[in-house]
Structure 1
Amino acid sequence: MTLAALLARKALLILTITLLVASCSFWAVHLLPENIAMQIAAARFSGTEPNQQLAEVVSQSYGLDRPILVQYADWLAGTLTLDFGVSLVTGRDVVHDIAHHGQNSLRTVFWGFIAGVALAIPTGYVCARFAGSHLDTVLTVFSAAISTIPSFLVAIVMVQLFVVELGLATLSGTSGWARLWVLVLTIALSISGLLSRVVRTAVIDVRLQPFMLHALIRGVPERELFWRHGLKNALRPVLNYLPVVFMFLIYDVIVIETVFNYHGLGWALINAVKALDVPLMQGLVLALVLFYLCCTTLSDLLTWRIYRRKAS
């Protein structure tokens, strides 16, 4: 497959999934059994008892009194032009709020992913290199334990250790390198467990391939053989697993940012749901979906690049 064909296929897939998610988020909100205008009025005017008159004012202000299909068409058109409306809480454009919180999330996700990969690859390689040993058993059990512990429990433990006990970080605002690296370490631990097990399995499979065994019999040093010929073969299942890692990253962003009170996309989404800020809530869901689709596209492009060069 050529690069142009791959990009066209991915662009069509991203557009289709984006419109599907946009449609689901719209109908999920507007087909609720409760009166959405009444719910928004209750969330916006918490000090006032919501009534029908207040709900009508909200409906007229936000266009909820228009026919549902007209609202749906406007929502899809806004999705295609990245116009998600105005936040009901902040009064700013939803795109502005997404960009503001998104830069914080991108920073933590980027460094968390790098740190997670840096932990997982050496751990998986060492386990495969000494498969069946006590070291392999200890590291495998530790990786399995880390991968089965929910992210919010890992985050709570990190808060207790680094914030409460050691006092190295705080839970206010978004500043402070200590707090950022505690977040990064939490994300890295959450994704490194499963990824290290994938690396271990991939390396063991490559080491048992006939061409590797034949080269070892001929006296080629194992380390040189693996790094020159076995690495690319071991990378394929790891790269194919990256979309799963990105899926866990989105979950970790929502949970860990909420626990740490870190003002990123996950924190903003939880607060938008609490305040029933429908435009911001829908925009954030689409932003997280687009983030996942872009990450998986980059993973596919990297896989295509590596194995196209290998085939040539």
Structure 2
Amino acid sequence: MIKAVCGLLLRAFVVLSGATILTFALLWNAPGDPAQAIAMARFDALLTDEVVDQVRQEVGLDRSFWQAFWAWLGPLLTLDLGFSAVTGRPVWPDLAAAISYTFPLAFSSLAVGLAVSVPLALLATKRPGGWMDRLAVAAASLGNAIPAYWLGLILILLFSVKLAWLPALGASTPAHAILPALTLGLGVAASLTRIIRSGILEARGQPFLPAFRRRGIVEKSIGRDHVAPHAAIPVVTVLGLELAFLLEGLVLVEVIFGRPGLGTFLVQAILARDFAHVQAVVVLTALVFVAVNLAIDLTYRIVDPRIGESDA
């Protein structure tokens, strides 16, 4: 177990290092003058060359790439994300405010996905090949094919414009989270339904199950002790990755629904070439992926101890 955790931590270091360097390089070499973009975002007006040069020196854009990168990385090692080049405020409070909107929405979307996919997959596997099974597979395939932005716009048109049941833009009340959570949650449900269904059918087809039945073990015990753990392994993988990829999907969905979360935070930072804000989101996202992968690996060893035997 210790060897596995050390290996995961080493891979985490590689992922974090690669993500930060690559993102910094893309921002640094993006078309246009970053100093002018920062100055425009800061003053919201046309500026003279003198003001742009002053901003360039102030935020360190007159240095080389590696000098600027190490100047940002040094404080990060002490958990200091620095200051925004546009607002001049520390990054942490603004990032925490964005997280307070994004993470609850991500978990709500995951809950919606589970609430839809688990009953649908269980109904589908009652009679494999039956009409309910075919309907569930078709619904899951359709859900995977629908882009999140298109589904979000359809939900806004139906529930906000036509029926006027739910608000479309903002995040001031819990009702504002319903349509974004449905938009993301239905996409999650489409993926989970197929994985849960396949996992259950594969687990039920294991060759050792008839031997348990001949011994008189009841179906409930077989399902709980043998089918469920076997089917849970692919589900754990997809569930963890869906939670991580929800952060990626939230960028687009939050912009569509006008929510002040990480999506809006990141888009505004990219447009303003605010290096500190963009890098903060990159580091946070990479940490989430690393933490999710670690949790998945450890969960494997709990669900099926045989997976960890090679580490002994």
Fold match by TM threshold 0.5: yes
In the alignment, does 2:184 pair up with 1:187? yes
Counterpart residue number, 1:44? 42
Which amino acid is 1:38 matched to?
Q
The CA deviation string for residues 249-274 of structure 1, in whole angstroms up to 9 with x for no partner, is 12221111111111111121122223
Q: Is the 8 A contact 1:22 1:76 kept in 2?
A: no
d(CA) in 2 for partners of 1:73, 1:26: 11
Which letter maps to 2:164?
A: G
Q: Conserved in 1, the CA contact under 8 Å of 2:233 and 2:303?
A: no
- For the aligned residue pairs, the C-alpha RMSD in angstroms reads 2.3
Query: For 2:29, which of 28, 31, 42 is the aligned residue?
Result: 31
1:189-214 Cα offsets, whole Å, 9 max, x none, are 01110111011111111111111233
Query: Would you say 1:253 and 2:267 are equivalent positions?
Result: no
Q: Note the residue ranges of structure 1 that are not aligned, 5 or more in a row.
A: none
Matched-pair contact (CA < 8 Å) for 1:82–1:95: no
Distance between the aligned counterparts of 2:168 and 2:130, measured in 1? 42
Q: Within 5 Å, which residues of 2 pair with 1:67-82?
A: 67-82=64-79
Q: What CA deviation, in whole Å up to 9, does each residue of 1:99-130 have, x standing for no partner?
A: 11102111111121122123222222221222
Match of 1:15 among 10, 13, 22: 13
What residue is the counterpart of 1:57 in the other structure?
54
Cα pair 2:301 2:308 within 8 Å, conserved: no
Relative contact order (C-alpha < 8 Å, sep 6+): which is higher? 2
1:6 paired residue number: 4
Aligned residues between the structures: 309
1:120-131 equivalent positions in 2, closer than 5 A = 120-131=117-128
Any gaps of 5 or more consecutive residues in structure 2?
none
In the alignment, is residue 170 of structure 1 matched against residue 167 of structure 2? Answer: yes
Q: Find the counterpart in structure 1 of residue 110 from structure 2.
A: 113
Alpha-carbon contact 2:38-2:86 (below 8 Å) kept: no
Cα distance change of structure 1 residues 278 and 248 upon mapping to structure 2, 3 Å threshold: same
What is the rounded CA distance, in whole Å, between the counterparts of 1:197 and 1:73 in structure 2? 45
Q: Which residue of 1 aligns with 2:263?
A: 266
**Closer/same/farther in 2, CA of residues 134 and 311 from structure 1, 3 Å limit:** same
Name the aligned partner's letter for residue 14 of structure 1: A
Distance (whole Å) between structure 1 residues aligned to residue 222 and residue 117 of structure 2: 21
Give 1:189's aligned amino acid: L
Matched, 1:292 2:285: no
Cα drift, residue 309 of structure 1: 8.6
Task: Calculate the TM-score normalised by the size of structure 2.
Answer: 0.90
1:305 aligns with 2:302: yes
Matched-pair contact (CA < 8 Å) for 1:250–1:292: no
Matched, 1:96 2:93: yes
Q: Confirm or deny that 1:133 pairs with 2:130.
A: yes
Aligned counterparts of 2:88 and 2:170: Cα–Cα separation in 1: 21
Q: TM-score, normalised by structure 1?
A: 0.90
